Structure 1
Amino acid sequence: MNAKPASMRPKPWTEVAPTLVDVAMGRRKADIVVRNGRWVNVHSGEIVPATDLAIVEGRFAYCGPDASHAIGENTRVVDAGGRYLVPGLCDAHMHVESGMVTVTEFCRAVIPHGTTSMFVDPHEIANVLGLEGVRLMHDEALAMPTNVYVQMPSCVPSAPGLEHGGAVLGPDDVAEAMTWENIIGLGEVMNFPGVAANDPTMVGEIAATVKAGRTVGGHYASPDLGLPFHGYVAGGPEDDHEGTRAEDAVARVRQGMKAMLRLGSAWYDVAEQIKAVTERGLDPRNFILCTDDSHSGTLVHDGHMDRVVRHAIEQGLKPVTAIQMATLNAAQHFRLERELGSIAPGRLADFLIVSDLPKMAVDEVYGRGVRLASNGKLEADIPAYAYPAAAKNTVRLGKKLEVADFDIAAPEGANEVRARVIGVIENQAPTRALEADLPVEVGHVAMDRAADVCQIAVVERHRGTGGITNGFVSGFGYSEDCAMASTVAHDSHHMIVVGTNKADMAMAANILAEKGGGVVMVSKGRQIALVEMPIAGLMSDERAEIVAEKAARLTEAMRRMGCTLNNAYMQHSLLALVVIPELRISDVGIIDVTKFEKVDLFV
């Protein structure tokens, strides 16, 4: 077992308050004074010119027109030169594992982009390693120089009876986690039918969280805003990031929830929902920006929360309003307003020096009063975190797979069958429930590449049962003989294999079993791209830049195979997520998520 790292948590405000007062009054000198900045004040919604900041013990002591009284011989003076002073950005809902990297590497990648606080839900590793996996990420988060809070996963598995993951967690586990130092709340409650039906597990987990005074995260993935939605809200979830329409955001805010608008690598849900503010005039205090899922390529090349804020501004929000949604609103939601989310006395000195506000051009990043990055380059020394051997070697197929494992037997005597097909929707998490007439060849149902119908399989990988569920998927556009396999398969994280060629499907699966997890593309019997992810089959132990480079080669390989989807890997990895409509696949079978029940492959 990995030794628990020393906590990087700053001293509590109660311990340093007298020192803050002394610096504000000029009786003591500051550690750092930032002069001549334009203060982006998210409390008042204004930009205050000619502002100085005095910082001591990692917290703001003075924010005002002249901090000369706080400057001493040992005070570091930073000239902002008229640039903007922006609170450090917060990602209110995200999964580190979607970046293909560890918490440490995720922080290394996003700090230069201005993210200084994250609220992470490690339900991916929880589905593989259970409570011990959550503890590993919880402890790693404590060692970061920024604020990485952990939400205790609520749905492991996400839909009991419709999938079997590597672990099962319940109310007792949630109650235990609520006693840990760094647990901030309950992760997204994805079993929305269970909440509406008063499922005892959901009721117990939410109650344990509320008793601990923590925030309950939501996940209502249905477009139905009728009684099931009202029952879900009454059950306790306090936010939701699954909306895609303006009316979704309106409905959530009216019911007292926070509408979390996400822009991840593949989810583009801000533009439509932000119209609730820009066109309908709803109060922006109840809207929060987040990413949900961002892979390493996006982080390294495009940005993180700076990218989301920039995008929100492009949709018509005032820059200060967009920044409020990525700072103060998140802090208030998690009951941390006195700690972070703004530049104000007593708060942690997490702030950015920005030269162009609408473009979110981040010049310098400070966390707890220490400069962590400048001009897009990380300056902080963040030591690598070693995961124990028990967190690796988690891919157990039970046997070497063969072509025959992917055969789909046709009904006796049939020359053609009508099959259910999972339809991928570009840039959105939901899928469509499609149907297709497919030919039968030598007793087996064949794919139809011309109609963009290829095969998908979920291979059980936690217990080595040898179980395989076969089905069909459309939307990837593969035009060559190929297959892609991934041990990232939200949320049960078995192995998903999608391909146009069964031999390539078998080869791809066997490669990942040998590598201990990851994602691989195979074409005509040859490996053409690979991202190794040995930690729980979900995360790499390499640097984010290296992972991003390998992920780029994977994306290019998918394009060469004919796939034109934006961020197709993210679409691939969610095809087994049996809590988002309409049609999914799991180790149990083909799942109709509109009814939350298993259905036959053939219509």
Structure 2
Amino acid sequence: MPAKSKNAFQRPKSWTDAAPQLVDVATGRAAADLVIRNGRWVNVHSGEVIAATDIAIVAGRFAYCGPNAGHAIGKGTKVVDAGGRYLVPGLCDAHMHVESGMVTVTEFCRAVIPHGTTSMFIDPHEIANVLGLDGVRLMHDEALAMPINVHVQMPSCVPSAPGLENAGAQLTAADVAEAMKWPNIIGLGEVMNFPGVAANDETMVAEIAATVKAGKTVGGHYASRDLGLAFHGYVAGGPEDDHEGTCVEDAVARVRQGMKAMLRLGSAWYDVASQIKAVTEQGLDPRSFILCTDDSHSGTLVDDGHMDRVVRHAIAQGLAPVTAIQMATINTAQHFRLEREIGSIAPGRLADFLIVSDLAELKIDEVYARGVRLAKGGRLEADIPPYDYLASAKKTVKLGRKLKAADFDVEAPEGANEVRARVIGVIENQAPTRALEADLPVEQGIVRMDRRNDVCQIALVERHRGTGGVTNGFVSGFGYMADCALASTVAHDSHHMIVVGTSKQDMAKAANRLGEVGGGVVLYSQGKEIALVEMPIAGLMSDERAEVVAAKAAKLTEAMRAAGCTLNNAYMQHSLLALVVIPELRISDVGIIDVTKFEKVDLFV
């Protein structure tokens, strides 16, 4: 399933091919393409800020970093005066999912380049759950066409929890071994099946072995609070990092076992402040800590930033600016065995750097990648054309029938006037949920919601094979006061459709609307469509520009607030309610899932 690009940016020469040019420029025998003069060099290798530094660039790589690069200036050399500003390595996002931005790889890059991101390590397991290996190849090939470094991790768990959900596709150990031969696969994506690793599941063992044999990095995802033998078995099984920690004890435990603790600040995951205390208060070595975003939607990217936002937040928690920058540059590069390519301003590395006027605030004036200025003053200068996805990547939402309000009825046990039901409890700004219980009334054999106590309905609608299946349950935490429903075909990780609402009529209308447009997210209230973000590519990504998507997402957020939802970034919380690899309680096409036990449970207690 190849995709088409109107224009691919030229890939830089390899270090070995460029080495003679680099040596000639460094020694003054040849002229550089670009020289930046009079900068303050943020040296992430030594931890210093070195004043009065020049850097010389040729063939998209740094050739010379030191005082007075006059020897590298010739007739064709472009010279830029940094005016005493800071020269900072381009920022790296160590773990993220492009699909969470609601946009394509191209549009994600357009949004984040002005914020200083020049390297991303993406795990496309969202599109893999819909389109399988073809979907991974789509994003792999698109990533190669970008003017910045977009490295791809091969998804490890599709579906994420076999037996507890049915995705739109399945990836095998043979698929993983095959993908390790692709030019832009950097490692294995987050290994979410942590019970499988601890139990020596054959598929997990084979996938990790294929990755290690290829000399690539194994990504981790240990979403359990249990730091006992199950955790030790998981670490022994090979994962080298983890971004699922939420408290300082999690960070300490991972680092002590030789893992890298990835601390995330996404649109709705705020896990840096609690865990960075392992460095600021307990004195652990910061080289074992890496910053990332995991999930950021388009509104956050366009309005608030990307890795620059994460670095500023880490500095605000008490980290020294250079240390925070190390966690978003050299630490990431070393973890993925790319320290000779990215992550620092040093000879031989790709010339990815920022000109920054305020280090503590990380005020980014200019962004360069491979020696070319891509953004200035927060505005993208590079012309990055849209990337064409073929029709085979669209029309993936198959409901099989038109849904009715009655499809969302929850039938009570015969003769019951009241039931005690399991309720998924949303935790603001965190990925885990709580396993709650609530006493709910029964009228004419149907269990009713309890809107006064913030218990509304949730449904998962099968959308890959058109079975017409609907799984119903209850959720608390959104605070909806109006008659409304929010439906989304972004439902990590199997990406069926999740519908949450206080009105079954609106739930049916919202679900049917997404079937009509080929996927996305929509809010209905009192029978009317209030906000819609169309995402026709695999039901996960828009084919519009990032700015357009961000504006639509902002309207969606306003509509949710108007309906009574006060959660920060509630859409992101909504999208994770089917993630059956993060405790405690979730919903899938199989039923209600207790993720502490990894088993299906009855809706009623």
Fold match by TM threshold 0.5: yes
Determine which of 300, 305, 308 is the counterpart of 2:307. 305
Query: What's the CA shift for 1:335?
Result: 0.1
Partner of 1:315: 317
Equivalences, count: 603
Measured after TM superposition, the shift of residue 73 of structure 1 is 1.1
Structure-2 separation of matches of 1:73 and 1:194: 61
Q: Secondary structure at the match of 1:90?
A: strand
Q: CA deviation at 1:2?
A: 3.8
CA displacement at 1:7 relative to structure 2: 6.7
User: Alignment partner of 1:601: what SS?
Assistant: coil
Distance in 1 of aligned mates of 2:444 and 2:207: 51
Matched-pair contact (CA < 8 Å) for 1:8–1:142: no
Equivalent in the alignment of 1:103? 105
Counterpart of 2:30?
Answer: 28
Root-mean-square deviation (Å): 0.7
Secondary structure of 2:158's counterpart equals coil
Match of residue 423 from structure 1: 425
Greater alpha carbon shift after TM alignment, 66-75 vs 7-16: 7-16
Cα 1:516/1:4, change in 2 over 3 Å = closer
Contact 2:489 2:540 in 1 (8 A): yes
Q: Tell whether 2:67 aligns with 1:65.
A: yes
Q: Match for residue 172 of structure 2?
A: 170
Query: How far apart, in 1, do the equivalents of 2:153 and 2:2 lie?
Result: 21
Instruction: Report if the CA contact (8 A) 2:265-2:294 is conserved.
Output: yes
TM-score of the aligned structures, taking structure 2 as reference length: 0.99
1:501 matched to which residue of 2? 503
1:53-82 deviation digits (Å, cap 9, x = unpaired) = 000000000000110000011100000000
Q: Report the secondary structure of 1:490's partner residue.
A: coil
Q: Give the distance between the partners of 2:142 and 2:542, measured in 1 at CA.
A: 15
Q: Which stretches of structure 1, 4 residues or more, deviate above 2 A after TM superposition?
A: 1-9
Q: CA deviation at 1:9?
A: 2.7
Does structure 2 conserve the Cα–Cα contact (< 8 Å) formed by 1:2 and 1:386?
no
2:389 corresponds to 1:378: no
Structure 2: how far apart are the matches of 1:2 and 1:203?
A: 30
For the 8 Å contact 2:3–2:390, the answer to whether it is kept is: no
Where does residue 403 of structure 2 map in the other structure? 401
Q: CA deviation at 1:175?
A: 0.4
Give the Cα–Cα distance (whole angstroms) in 2 for the partners of residues 252 and 3 of structure 1: 39
Residue 146 of structure 1 is matched in structure 2 by: 148
Q: Does 1:135 align with 2:137?
A: yes
Aligned pair partner of 2:290 in 264, 268, 288: 288
Distance in 2 (CA, whole Å) between partners of 1:243 and 1:46 is 30
Local SS of the residue matching 1:456? strand
Match for 1:362 among 364, 369, 376? 364
Distance 1:142 1:71 in 2: 32
Deviations 1:422-447 (A, max 9, x none): 00000000000000000001100000
| SS class of match (1:187) | strand
Contact (CA 8 Å) 2:340, 2:349: kept in 1 or not?
Answer: yes
Distance 1:83 1:412 in 2: 73
For 1:337 and 1:74, how far apart are their aligned partners in 2?
30
Per-residue CA deviations over 1:465-521 (Å, capped at 9, x if unaligned) read: 111100000000000000000000000000000000000000000000000000000
Identity of aligned residues (%): 84
TM-score by length of 1: 1.00
1:591 to 589, 593, 597: 593
Q: What is the identity, as a one-letter code, of the residue corresponding to 2:585? A: L
Give, in whole Å, the separation in 1 of the partners of 2:477 and 2:321: 36
- The yes-or-no answer on 1:465 pairing with 2:467 is yes
Q: Give 3-state SS (helix, strand or coil) of 1:195's partner.
A: helix
8 Å contact from structure 1 (residues 515, 532) kept in 2: yes
Amino acid corresponding to residue 448 of structure 1 in structure 2: D
Letter in 2 for 1:558: M
Letter in 1 for 2:278: A
Q: Secondary structure at the match of 1:507?
A: helix
Q: Give 2:476's match in structure 1, choosing from 464, 474, 477.
A: 474
Output the CA distance in 1 between the equivalents of 2:101 and 2:80: 33
**Retained in 2: the 8 A contact 1:482–1:504?**
yes
Task: Specify the code of the residue in structure 2 equivalent to 1:248.
Answer: D
Equivalent residues of 2:227, 2:253 under 8 A apart = yes
Contact 2:460/2:497 (<8 A) preserved? yes
Aligned residue runs from structure 1 range 84-483, under 5 A: 84-483=86-485
3-state SS, counterpart of residue 22 of structure 2:
helix
Q: Distance in 1 between matches of 2:591 and 2:204?
A: 24
Does structure 1 retain, via aligned residues, the 8 Å contact 2:2–2:137?
no
Q: 1:346, CA displacement in angstroms?
A: 0.2
